Structure 1
Amino acid sequence: MLAVLTFGIPALLMWVWNMTLPELFGWPRLHYWQAFRLELISALLFGTFRLW
């Protein structure tokens, strides 16, 4: 379950970003590992990062 969340949430983030922001604002599309790093940064900033 943890692996699904760890690798599934960035995939969902990448999909939503790529479906919305490039069309609205002309921003670049995200690749999977860019979405993974963005999710990691946001988890650290907002305190949802857990090691267990």
Structure 2
Amino acid sequence: MEGLIYWPHPETKPFHFQDSKVVEVLAVFNDKIKYGDEVTVHILNEEARFE
């Protein structure tokens, strides 16, 4: 399944607290994945940078 990884930068959300270690995955709905399930995200080399 392909998707996008989004990191909501804390400075852009001053009134909405979210742990800075949280990333969001934007992908097509999959009813086999439920809240609390563990998933693995594979990132191609040099396709993402976390600083």
Q: What TM-score does the superposition give when structure 2 sets the normalisation length?
A: 0.32
- Structure with the largest fraction of strand: 2
Higher helix fraction (1 or 2): 1
TM-score normalised per structure 1: 0.31
